[in-house]
Structure 1
Amino acid sequence: MASTQGTTGSPFAASVEPGSFRVTRPQNASDVTDLLRQHDIQIVDLKFTDLPGLWQHFSITLPEVHDDLFNAGIGFDGSSIRGFQEIHESDMLLRPDPTTAFVDPACDTPTLSMICDVVDPVLRQPYSRDPRYVAKKAENYLRQTGIATTCYFGPELEFFIFDSIRYGQDQHCGYYYVESGEGDWTSGRDEGAYGGGNLGYKQRYKEGYFPVPPHDTLQEIRSEIVLRLQQAGVQIEVHHHEVATAGQNEIDMRFATLTRMADNVMIYKYICKNVARRHGKVATFMPKPLFADNASGMHCHQSLWNDDQNLFYDAGGWALTSDMCRWYIGGLLQHAPALMAFCAPTTNSYKRLVPGYEAPVNLAMSQRNRSAAARIPMYSDSPNARRVEFRCPDPSANAYLAFAAMLMAGLDGIENKTDPGAPLDRNIYDLPPEEARNVRQVPGSLDEALAALETDNTFLRKGDVFTDDVIETWIDYKRTREIDTIKLRPHPWEFYLYFDT
């Protein structure tokens, strides 16, 4: 489902939520103190993101909320956080960002949550491996180039809600088992143990897009997620069932600036998982949890603006796009193999990036065409709506790093006036072989993507946005903690293929 970024006017228009309340973000520590009083807050929760992209947290009591918390920060053990420090350099600081404060809708105890920046206590500077710091540096670099003042992102995160999940692997066995009352495979199941007989209305494979209840059993859960997201200050545009069977969903946020949107992605995942759990279900942003059906992507709509002017619009350009927009696309496509190390950063990501499941494996641009990696949505001819949708990322990505990397690739394309190639406004999957072989594709594995990142990272290091330390640590972490561990383990399908050899 495409984001409606820009279709309702300037991105600077006031954001009024449905109902009787308007979300007003705090601006400083004094505003946070006001929130504590207004909502009878009892606990303050400090959240930050590890290098792979999961939220970590600890909670403090109200007497600990004072000016020093926002200025000097509060200490924690960085050696226990994935991708951070070694044990001999473990002392780190968290500095809460008061503009991120929200009354936490996932907590029963009145709790105020704040997203924090990570600080090196020795250097008294932002920590190089803090993903949020990377995102902030990317936005600063954009302004330094003079190309634009603002980059807007509007990601479409897809995810599954299952009834339960079981998985395990040891020296003598390995398995996973997904339970979903919506799953097509349950059409013949005796569901007496699940509270009644089998009531039918299962989602057929690849037919989960837009059916109404009772086929769509997750309408009320998604609505609850949406309301809780709005309570947390995240503006939502639309929610719906997605293509796959067994509970695939999409909830679309209204676009925001790069770092703010990455913050919103973290809130989004947090609330989806917690609301699902309250209903006795489980939400996952794993890209490809089901065989033979559509996977979950994170199509990223993005545009560059000078104040209230969309720089990607040109009334006389192809698909109403400017030269700058097309050069930005050129940068995305040129650097796509390296980008995938951050945008599709798991071994499971490459189970999604295969032809035949609306997967954007072809490095081409197009208008309206979902088989191309870079698409120009054509829902509106409004100048504010002109943007590029980069379809390769998936929701396993660390949004701070993925958004920053895409912006840096696009800026490199603009600086070098990179030609994205002729538009391919056809179904690229059906191209004759002699034409298809001329279309570059995304890497076929995380291994290939990391190798591409090793050789193509100069564009990321401009302005010191991605330091060598971040890139090297990312590559090493992914290889040793993920790729190598997968290589060591036999796959269940290998038994089917090879046991009788």
Structure 2
Amino acid sequence: MSDPQVVQVRDDKKEAVHQVLERIKAQNIQFVDFRIVDLLGRQHHVTVPASEVDERTFEMGVAFDGSSLTGYRSIEESDMVMVPDPTSAFVDPFVEAPTLSLVCNIYTPEGDPYTRDPRNIARKAEAYLKETGIATTAYFGPEAEFFLFDNVQYGNSMKGAFYFIDSEEAAWNTGEPGLGYKVRVKGGYFPVAPTDTMADIRNEMCQLLERCGIRVERHHHEVATAGQGEINFRFDTLTRAADNLLLFKYIVRNVAKKHGKTATFMPKPIVGDNGSGMHTHQSLFNGDTPLFYEKGGYANLSQLALYYIGGILKHAPALTALTNPSTNSFKRLVPGYEAPVNLVFSKGNRSAAIRVPVAAVSPKAARIEFRTPDPTCNPYLAFAAMLLAGLDGIRNRIDPTEHGFGPIDKNLYELSDEEKKSIKSVPASLDEALDALEEDHAFLLAGDVFTKDVIETWIALKREEARSVNRTTHPKEYELYYDL
């Protein structure tokens, strides 16, 4: 007899496929767009006329060349298949012809899930969570900050290297002709118009997010000058939250382009002001029961939640290789810019790596906020890694209070030198983070969620990025050394 759970899954997929095909007819969809993501987190797509899409498409998938995507197969074994997830459908608001987009999972020609497919890794992490019996669902709520610039120029060659950015609201433009109301350095948190020039653009982004099925909670200008913003959308299950983050970035970038601006999720595009992080809220549920809440505990956290925190903080140096995977990431992770470099936890404290929200929190809203990550990460890999670190903490009963991880409920940047000695910090560079990942990755192999091949491939790709930056002569070096 067939497993009834398997039958139910197949029935659910069949119904979802039916709904997508009916939607194509009802909304006169002309094209269907199939999306995948490479190992580094960049999206790619192929478009098919809607007349060519039927039930078989959701079984057989669409063939593509895996050797052309970063981190995938070599040219002699390049044939791969993308199979659409029918529950991920949304109508693309930026394409003139009515187009339905679908997120896909990647398979080998033999029909096996591809081990380097980031979305497959996220799905395996969710399956492993259920296998542990600890919880049934992990919820993630990323808060990806970004900048909207009016101009960006950059170049690297034998002749020279440079970058140039500009923004109508930047503090450095007070000396230019204009109407005033520039955003001061570190003065951009919640200003009203006319200082905040981006409200209408963020409104439009929110409207499109809602139209594409992502529930928006709020938006606002962020701390930095020159157009820093934040839009918070509703938490979701691990894989779906990663799907939503990539769609969020797609919408932000394209709305910005429509308005003659350019959006970037670089962690530190501006020297001397706050960077862009991706504070990531996390919680575990068993069915409808929240597992992170216990009235009377520290910040009303359960012991299980504390163990989860302990796992993340213990493995944080290795995690940063996945949650902060760019050389630019570590220009944000420096003291003095609200950057969470200290590996401690605290309630309501934004200078700690993990903050426990305490304002307007119900039992079901009990959660932790890991503040170190930034939006250059591949969210499928980053969320899966965070979950595995937390589960390792639960399995091994890693109590953060017994391992020197706090809690510390005061401004960590104002501690004495003696107090600072006992506090561990995140790595100071991408190379250091990769060193940590090489030494500490056994927790990622649990449940075969990550494979050694994926970790080795990731490290090799990121080592080459770091080498390319280290080999490039920097304009600052001319200022420091040209006349020596």
Q: TM-score, structure 2 length as denominator? A: 0.96
2: CA distance, partners of 1:425 / 1:27: 51
2: CA distance, partners of 1:405 / 1:341: 10
1: CA distance, partners of 2:126 / 2:249: 23
Structure 2 match to 1:53:
41
Q: Which residue identity is paired with 1:232?
A: C
User: Given the alignment of the two structures, is residue 498 of structure 1 paired with residue 481 of structure 2, yes or no?
Assistant: yes
User: Given the alignment of the two structures, is residue 282 of structure 1 paired with residue 259 of structure 2, yes or no?
Assistant: no
Alignment match of 1:249 (pick from 229, 234, 256)? 229
User: Given the alignment of the two structures, is residue 428 of structure 1 paired with residue 412 of structure 2, yes or no?
Assistant: yes
1:427-446 equivalence runs, <5 A: 427-446=411-430
User: CA contact under 8 A between 1:26 and 1:32: conserved in structure 2?
Assistant: no
SS at match of 1:259: helix
Output one character per residue of 1:369-391: Cα deviation in whole Å (capped at 9) or x when no partner: 00100110111241112100000
For structure 1, which segment, 212-221 or 376-385, has the greater mean C-alpha deviation from structure 2 after superposition? 376-385
Output one character per residue of 1:145-192: Cα deviation in whole Å (capped at 9) or x when no partner: 0000000011111000100100001002100000100100011113xx
1:76-475 equivalence runs, <5 A: 76-122=64-110, 124-190=111-177, 198-421=178-401, 422-475=406-459
Q: Which residue identity is paired with 1:109?
A: A
Q: Which residue identity is paired with 1:491?
A: H
2: CA distance, partners of 1:367 / 1:350: 25
Q: Which residue identity is paired with 1:168?
A: G
1: CA distance, partners of 2:451 / 2:148: 37
2: CA distance, partners of 1:436 / 1:328: 24
Structure 1 vs Structure 2 CA RMSD:
1.1
2: CA distance, partners of 1:185 / 1:203: 9
Output one character per residue of 1:234-256: Cα deviation in whole Å (capped at 9) or x when no partner: 11000000000000000001110
1: CA distance, partners of 2:149 / 2:206: 18
1: CA distance, partners of 2:389 / 2:226: 36
Q: Which residue identity is paired with 1:203?
A: V
2: CA distance, partners of 1:70 / 1:455: 40
SS at match of 1:67: coil
Alignment match of 1:43 (pick from 22, 25, 31)? 31
What number of residue pairs does the alignment pair up? 468
2: CA distance, partners of 1:299 / 1:132: 21
User: CA contact under 8 A between 1:326 and 1:419: conserved in structure 2?
Assistant: yes
Q: Which runs of 5+ in 1 are unaligned?
A: 1-24, 191-197
Q: Which runs of 5+ in 2 are unaligned?
A: 1-12
Alignment match of 2:466 (pick from 483, 488, 494)? 483
- Deviating above 2 A after TM superposition, structure 1's stretches of 4 or more consecutive aligned residues are none
User: CA contact under 8 A between 1:339 and 1:453: conserved in structure 2?
Assistant: yes
2: CA distance, partners of 1:220 / 1:27: 38
Output one character per residue of 1:4-24: Cα deviation in whole Å (capped at 9) or x when no partner: xxxxxxxxxxxxxxxxxxxxx
SS at match of 2:56: helix
Q: Which residue identity is paired with 2:462?
A: K
Output one character per residue of 1:380-435: Cα deviation in whole Å (capped at 9) or x when no partner: 24111210000000011100000000000000000001021231001111111011
The structural deviation recorded for 1:63 is: 2.4
User: CA contact under 8 A between 1:367 and 1:376: conserved in structure 2?
Assistant: yes
The structural deviation recorded for 1:316 is: 2.0
Q: Which residue identity is paired with 2:217?
A: E
The structural deviation recorded for 1:315 is: 0.4
Residues 272 and 294 (structure 1), Cα distance of their counterparts in 2 relative to 1, 3 Å cut: same
The structural deviation recorded for 1:441 is: 0.2
1: CA distance, partners of 2:332 / 2:272: 10
The structural deviation recorded for 1:45 is: 0.5
